[in-house]
Structures are given as structure tokens and as C-alpha cells.
Amino acid sequence: MHIAGWQKVSLVDYPGKVACTLFTGGCNLRCPYCHNSELLEGPLPAQDIQEVLAYLDARKGILDGVVVSGGEPCLQPDLAAFLARLKEKDLLVKLDTNGCYPDLLGEILDRHLVDYVAMDWKNAPEDYALTVGREASPLEQVTGSLDKLLSGSVPFELRTTVVEQLHTERSFEKIRDYLEPLLAKKGKKIPAFYLQAFKDRDTVPFAGFTAPDKKSLERYAALLEPLADKVGLRGA
């Protein structure tokens, strides 16, 4: 398990919980607005797993849980085994994922190795490849992961980081139109869908990206209301 970095205490990464956040190295996508581009490739730092586990043991009763983020955690070949070790410590476990590995996600859900999943939904179908910086769109795999989440019992959220140069009102109309038939077939809604306002920082690979204003974000959120029990804004 390659842990490239960690935040020992976070009050924001796991909703309503005090958590330790672990960042895995490597990602299969190249989103041009990525906040964690230093974790994508090349020589990556590696944290001592035993040190991390010892810290979690020492903070028992203080930490509610652990967030496994990235990068993309599902690239780690021993992810399921590592999550099982965390669950043995009686910690809540949240997984952040881009949704590109539905089979592994399904295994994790079936084995009850996580308590919460936050999955990215990057953009409208025709803009997905551009938004993730790849020639081939991973939309089929991401849709498969959503199907696994809807079929399971683990609480989850979808989230879109909204970038003014990549998203418009039409983007969210098309997201709604794409997801509505899937949700109707399942007879379910998404528990929560969050729009996260892009925030620039020095690790973003490309300059010039900005966030829409709050009124625009509110319009976009209103378009998603038929899909989810809760639609909210973050960072606006």
C-alpha cells in the first residue's frame, strides 16, 4: 500500500467526523484542474505504513475514522486488504474515488470494508474525456461504479468540482438527463450530490481556471435536485 502523504487530523474530509486522511500515490486520470497533481506520477514520497498504523492506534478514542483518498486509491493492488486492517481497528472508513474501477469498488462494498464513499462525477458525457485529460472517456466505468453504489447499502455522495472554463448550465442539464434513466431503473435517488467550487493553488497543473460565482452554482445545483435526496454547495 503506497501512502504518499497524510493529514493526521481533518475536520472536513469525512462529513461530521474527526478523521485522519491518507493520500495514495498515482492516478489514472489527468484532470487539468487537479489539486493533488504532485501525487500523480514520478518519484513519489512514501510514508511508513507501520508509523501510520501506530498513530491510528495511539489516537483511538480521539479519531472517529480514516479517509483513504488520493491520487486514486483503487490503483493500489492491496487496497482491500488495507481497508480490512483499518476496519479491524474499529475505525469508520471513507473512500474517495474517481469511480473508474467498478469491480474493485463492488468487492469493497460487498465485503463491507468502507462506511462511506465519495465518488467524483466529473462532467457531462460528451465532455468527460476532456475534463479528465484522457482521449478515452471512463464514463462507462464510472457509471458502473454508480450502479454498484446504488445496489449496495453503504452511504455515498457524488461530487463535481465546478470549473468555469469546463462547466456550464448545459453541462448539468446533460448530467441530469444522463443519470435520470439509470436512477429510474433502480428506483432510487443519489443520497447526496455536492458541487464543489474550484479553488486555485500552486499544485494545479494549468493556470487560468476559475470558479463560477455562487449564483451560477445555485442554478446548477437546482438542475440536479431531481436526482438526489440532497444537493449542496461546498466552498462557494
User: pLDDT (tens digit, 9 = 90+) per residue, 121-168?
Assistant: 999 999 999 999 999 999 999 999 999 999 999 999 999 999 999 999
Tell me the three-class secondary structure of 23-72, residue by residue: EECCCCCCCCCCCCHHHCCCCCCCCCHHHHHHHHHHCECCECEEEEECCC
pLDDT at residue 37 tops 80 = no
CATH assignment at residue 63: 3.20.20.70
Claim: this prediction has a pTM higher than 0.85: yes
DSSP code, position 175: H
67 is in which domain, residue-wise?
A: 3-234
* pLDDT value for 131: 97
DSSP code, position 77: T
* Cα-based torsion angle of the residue sequence 27, 29, 32, 34 in order, rounded to the nearest 10 degrees: -40
Nearest of 208, 29, 17 to residue 133 by alpha carbon: 29
pLDDT bucket at 12, cuts 50 / 70 / 90: very high
The residue with cell 501510520 is 52
pLDDT (average), residues 225-229: 98
Nearest of 64, 87, 77, 69 to residue 16 by alpha carbon: 64
Q: Which residues contact 223 (CB under 8 A, 6 or more apart)?
A: 169, 172, 173, 175, 176
pLDDT tens track for 164-178: 999 999 999 999 999
Cβ atoms of 106 and 119 within 8 Å: the answer is: no
Q: Total domain count for the chain?
A: 1
* pLDDT value for 109: 98
